Structure 1
Amino acid sequence: MRDIKVPASIVSALGLTQIIGYGTLYYSFSILSPAIAEDLGLSLEWVFGVFSLSLFVGGLSAPFIGRQMDRIGAATVMTAGSAIAAATLAVCAWSPSVAVFALAIVMLEISSGMVQYQAAFAALVENEPRTASRSITYLTLIGGFASTIFWPISAALSGFLTWREIYLVFAALNLFVCMPLHFWIMYVGKAASRLEPNRTPNVVVGALPPEARRRGMILVSFAFAVLGFTLAAILAHMVPMLGTLGFGTMAVVVGSIFGPSQVASRLINMIFGTRLSPPMLAVISALLIVLGVMTLGLSGDWLPGAVVFAICLGLGSGINSIAQGSLPLYLFGSDGYGAVTGKMAAARLAVGAAAPFVFATAMQNLGIGTALALNAALGLVGVIAFVVVATSTRRPRTTASGVSDRL
């Protein structure tokens, strides 16, 4: 009974914490940043510069966080992460100077690595490796509503609360909603271990043989980093870029298609994608993102082209989130999953942190069309890397002992 009921409840609990985690720690920043800049006497570019720095530092901390998840459990790390996130949001709200605010934002991104997808995926793998890939799909479907929910919530709250007061509200959500749920997940795991001390855990054995793991790790990390750069560059500038292309007020409408497309891709995969291996999902996600960027570059100010761009980008991004969790499990197995995903997250976040600045510089000096073409070309390199991974793997088999039994 535990294998049937608890995973569903854990996915539901994690889904709620991912909506709050991404909504309060990531998506709200773009809405609140103008008020933050005005209050602190900074330019908006400087505020986003601090945010980019925090993403970079967060990437550097990901391997350490991943190792701690393997050592003490992902749910334990998430419980501590919720407390740290709440405290850091409170420091942001209090910050009397630019230096304190900058330090708090950096710490906020480190805490994000302890509570967002990287940690949630590891918690699902710990709970039941056999069903983790499917659970990851369900979780990303729920988590995909974070921007849809928290962009309007943040905008609405900013109408009658200051950004500091909003951050205090967000701190309370992390402390009184997310932390208890993460603690409950931790308690369930420890209680199950006490009830079944002799239970042999099911282990997913990776598709890559030991001698190919290092090469596979480099290839996959490189592919996710390149694709992450391609996606981050576009997302950071999507609405202003569409406005510059001549869409005016329609830029916001076109940009709003991205979120529903992201959720739709996860729903489609949940229903119809069960026969696709994680390497193929990664290839498809990369192709969709590149196709979207190429479409916008070729269509210019043609509205149907922009709509296709937003749909493809959303579909590719949604599937990419699933692949970030399921592909490492498929290739490297469940043993040491936290450390593996931590290393991949480090490469992806560190490279992605530079994307908004690099793409903005390219648009300013080379033009939007050339910048999009270069970005699409970079994305194609990621596609090739994923194709190489997909053609060099064999399907893994789940075992109870952890001994490899390859097909």
Structure 2
Amino acid sequence: MHSRQVLAGIVSALGITQIIGYGTLYYSFSILAPGMAADLGLSLSQVFGVFSVSLFIGGLSATYLGKQMDRIGAATIMTIGSVLAALTLALCAWSPSVAVFAIAIILLEVSSGMVQYQAAFAALVESNPRTASRSITYLTLIGGFASTIFWPISAALSGWMSWREIYLVFAALNLFLCMPLHFWIMRAGKTGSSADAAARPREAVIGAVPHDARSRSMIMVSFAFALLGFTLAAILAHMVPMLGSIGLGAAAVVIGSLFGPAQVASRLINMVFGKNLSPPALAVVSAVLIVFGILILLASGDWLPGAVAFAICLGLGSGINSIAQGSLPLYLFGSEGYGAITGKMAAARLALGAGAPFAFAAAMENLGLSLSLIGNACLGAVSIAAFVAVAASCRRPATATV
């Protein structure tokens, strides 16, 4: 077993890289998109259309990447991914045409799958399957600061730097900070694995789903995460501009920044008080909070306390959802082949969620914000029902030594 110090170091290092990975590769996009559109001669919808295509292709790569994580190690994939993220951010910053820009954004999303939560969770399961669920909670607690840090940073930098210059700064962060940390995790994992093998047999988690029901449960839980992912991605991609458009003005950035602390708060609450909640129950709670938050915004409009409650509920639900994405597959299907399993689930979630930014932008332009939010809430309600069905079909997982 990894020493507590090494495991704590791995979780801390991954926390830093997740903040940078999500901040530079995901959260900053909605802030920088208007500048991209103006620079490239595109409409904002077209820019988000490119983003949606890139999310779809990135989602398709998740299954392959998951298998490679099982084969060569998640930390190795993350090290390579940091270099690819830096190169593609630089390519995006240089792009002289819309075609090169589109290719760069697509490659950026492929690299995202190599460095964000899917890979980080697999690295923690590799380190110690038995304690992985707790480590995932700690990791998401740290990673929850990504939007809080990078939305204001991106907004501030865009005041005196072009989006191209900002992407070069982000490339440097991925290359000179994230890559060395991922490389250290890779080395620590190999050293720790050798020590583990010499010291004691490795514990594996056996899933709660009977073998003959795995395919059906995989489809159901992938469907639930995909729908909820679509619901959340649609809102997050437009959160700050959307809040500004309903009359909240400069307060939109401040309100949007509450999303991150709410994510952190939900994970902290779960860590302290949620020990008796199973991963299926966590998934249900997360979906309910996200849908409730959307309904609050729908009912409150430009009323400031309502917008604050919306951001907090969305953050609480998103924070718990991130934990469920890592812990529910481990709970349901066990630690054997975890990378490939989560890769398939991520592919379904990302492929469906890929259309969310573009679809929501188009819906707001053609149907208005209220109808768009109603449709989004309905999709989230279906995911609640799917998670309830999954929770009702589980037995408690066991452990085995291998």
Structure 1 length as normaliser, TM-score?
0.93
Say which is worse superposed, 39-48 or 105-114, in terms of deviation: 39-48
Match of 1:11 in 2: 11
How far the C-alpha of 1:233 sits from its partner, in A, is 1.9
How far the C-alpha of 1:344 sits from its partner, in A, is 0.9
Contact 2:148 2:259 in 1 (8 A): no
Say which is worse superposed, 382-391 or 364-373, in terms of deviation: 364-373
User: For 1:89-100, what aligned pairs fall within 5 Å after superposition?
Assistant: 89-100=89-100
Match of 1:108 in 2: 108
2:274 is paired with a residue of what secondary structure?
helix
2:354 is paired with a residue of what secondary structure?
helix
Aligned residue pairs total: 401
1:138 aligns with 2:138: yes
1:2 is paired with a residue of what secondary structure?
coil
C-alpha spacing 1:306/1:168, structure 2 compared with 1 (3 Å): closer
Contact 1:3 1:128 in 2 (8 A): no
Contact 2:148 2:258 in 1 (8 A): no
1:170 aligns with 2:167: no
Q: Which runs of 5+ in 2 are unaligned?
A: none
Contact 1:24 1:150 in 2 (8 A): yes
Match of 2:79 in 1: 79
User: For 1:310-325, what aligned pairs fall within 5 Å after superposition?
Assistant: 310-325=311-326
Q: Match for 2:288: what amino acid? A: L
Match of 1:387 in 2: 388
Contact 2:2 2:128 in 1 (8 A): no
C-alpha spacing 1:251/1:394, structure 2 compared with 1 (3 Å): same
2:355 is paired with a residue of what secondary structure?
helix
Contact 1:262 1:316 in 2 (8 A): yes
Say which is worse superposed, 3-12 or 241-250, in terms of deviation: 241-250
Contact 2:152 2:253 in 1 (8 A): no
* Alpha-carbon displacement from aligned partner over 1:265-295 (angstroms, at most 9, x marks no partner): 1111111111111000000000111111222
Contact 1:58 1:106 in 2 (8 A): yes
How far the C-alpha of 1:244 sits from its partner, in A, is 4.4
Distance 1:106 1:178 in 2: 20
User: For 1:248-259, what aligned pairs fall within 5 Å after superposition?
Assistant: 248-259=249-260
Match of 2:239 in 1: 238
Say which is worse superposed, 294-303 or 63-72, in terms of deviation: 294-303
How far the C-alpha of 1:238 sits from its partner, in A, is 3.0
Match of 2:155 in 1: 155
Q: Match for 2:350: what amino acid? A: L
How far the C-alpha of 1:321 sits from its partner, in A, is 0.7
Q: Report % sequence identity.
A: 75
Q: Match for 1:40: what amino acid? A: L
How far the C-alpha of 1:227 sits from its partner, in A, is 0.7
Match of 2:359 in 1: 358
Distance 1:40 1:302 in 2: 35
Match of 1:44 in 2: 44
Match of 2:180 in 1: 180
1:298 aligns with 2:299: yes
Match of 1:268 in 2: 269
Contact 2:23 2:146 in 1 (8 A): yes
Distance 1:97 1:361 in 2: 24
C-alpha spacing 1:90/1:272, structure 2 compared with 1 (3 Å): same
Match of 1:203 in 2: 204
How far the C-alpha of 1:243 sits from its partner, in A, is 4.2
Match of 2:401 in 1: 400
How far the C-alpha of 1:338 sits from its partner, in A, is 0.6
Distance 1:267 1:84 in 2: 32
Distance 1:296 1:159 in 2: 29
1:394 is paired with a residue of what secondary structure?
coil
Distance 1:227 1:245 in 2: 24
How far the C-alpha of 1:395 sits from its partner, in A, is 1.4
Q: Which runs of 5+ in 1 are unaligned?
A: 402-407
Q: Match for 1:29: what amino acid? A: F
2:60 is paired with a residue of what secondary structure?
helix
Q: Match for 1:386: what amino acid? A: F
Match of 1:372 in 2: 373
Distance 1:226 1:262 in 2: 19
* Alpha-carbon displacement from aligned partner over 1:121-162 (angstroms, at most 9, x marks no partner): 000000001111111111111111112222232333334433
How far the C-alpha of 1:175 sits from its partner, in A, is 1.4
Contact 2:77 2:114 in 1 (8 A): yes
Distance 2:196 2:213 in 1: 35
Distance 1:148 1:89 in 2: 21
Distance 1:94 1:135 in 2: 38
Contact 2:89 2:167 in 1 (8 A): yes
Contact 2:224 2:383 in 1 (8 A): yes
Distance 1:316 1:208 in 2: 25
Contact 1:14 1:120 in 2 (8 A): yes
Distance 1:37 1:243 in 2: 18
Structure 2 length as normaliser, TM-score?
0.94
How far the C-alpha of 1:225 sits from its partner, in A, is 0.6
Contact 1:15 1:139 in 2 (8 A): yes
